[in-house]
Structure 1
């Protein structure tokens, strides 16, 4: 899932365990570790800002008159091909994000010293690849609800940037629940997967694999 400049492989500090006598009177003492306090208040600002961005993009796409064209990138046969391949590149890099995150969280046991760097830079490049696509969608096409696939694609695009901003803003905050980043990262991954399925995958199936 796209990440920013902060390494998410920070060590978790656990308070010193407190020894309490066993109820049985046995000399063996039970170990009780106080649970760290979790505060959801700092999460409100990232969620509100992310929500406003998602809604703002959707409103702009509706009120803006589509131009039918936008600045394209050289090397592609057309705007649809550009969108399909750039979104595919971003999707592949997000898969790298997912695997590297699983390594950093200990779900996959691999001794890779540079995994944090790979995670950060794959996220940065993936996000940059989505920008020309988003610009073309909003400026040239707008937010459209006339067909189920296009409607889902439009809504997922707005949601993707909203949840991405929320994740980036929540990343440097302390005291948040441990599920915060995995959930926001998972939602970002899910949104981009949906965008790829409703755009690139559709393009490759309906039109063909071509530049």
Structure 2
């Protein structure tokens, strides 16, 4: 191939496995959440006044770190000007920490409450939770792949952020505005 020839585009085919795996994760969580008999017992309160407070604050922490994710991704992609070698590690570690903060929340939701569809807010929240982990899985599996379309990571990252923002609105925001700000 000479320097004037262009390699054939592979398109979005390499995305097939990450998207299928993400879809399977989302569906599996939804099925488990619906089929599992909720225990009603709170787990991992770690000094919070109750399970709702724990979930509200951990989700708020994850949402704030998700904003750091968006800003650091914009810097990495050259959309905003930030200099320094600290941006990439900040992006990686804020994402890791945000994800870790969501795990006890999701565990509590699935184990204690299960997926619920009886109220619109809770229905949206349950669906967003499944979608969040599905699209997160797809993004993590797409990260090491080469030859993906340039829009892949920004779109998947944007979907992760949007899902987490929706989760925050249907949980933490609801908690703080309905029950008040408390730990």
Q: Structure 2 length normalisation: TM-score?
A: 0.95
Q: Match for residue 70 of structure 2?
A: 98
Aligned to 2:146: 174
Question: Cα distance, 1:128 vs. partner?
Answer: 0.3
Does 1:42 find its partner at 2:22?
no
The structural deviation recorded for 1:39 is 2.8
| Inter-CA distance 146–35: structure 2 relative to 1 (3 Å threshold) | same
TM-score of the two chains, using structure 1 as the length reference: 0.83
Which residue in 2 is equivalent to 1:7?
none
Asked if 1:159 is matched to 2:131, the reply is: yes
Q: What is residue 130 of structure 1 aligned with on the other side? A: 102
Structure 1: stretches of 5+ with no match in the other structure? 1-14, 19-32
Is 1:64 the counterpart of 2:36? The answer is yes
Residues of 2 paired with 1:35 and 1:42: CA distance?
16
Alignment correspondent of 2:115: 143
Out of 38, 44, 53, the position equivalent to 2:25 is: 53
Q: Distance in 2 between matches of 1:141 and 1:168?
A: 27
Q: Runs in 1 of length 4+ with deviation above 6 angstroms?
A: none
Residue segments in structure 2 that go unaligned for 5+ positions in a row: none
Residue 34 of structure 1, CA deviation: 4.7
Q: Deviations along 1:70-128, whole A, 9 cap, x unmatched?
A: 31232100000000000000000000000000001000011122100000000000000
Any residues of structure 2 matched to 1:115-126 within 5 Å, and which? Answer: 115-126=87-98
Cα offsets for 1:42-86 (capped at 9, x unmatched)? 110000010001000000011111111131232100000000000
> What is aligned with 2:51?
79
Return the index of the structure with the highest Cα Rg. 1
By how many angstroms is 1:174 displaced? 0.7
Q: Distance in 2 between matches of 1:99 and 1:161?
A: 21
Aligned residues: 182
Q: Supply the distance in 2 between the matched residues of 1:91 and 1:36 (Cα, whole angstroms).
A: 39
- The DSSP-based 3-state class of the residue aligned with 1:37 is coil
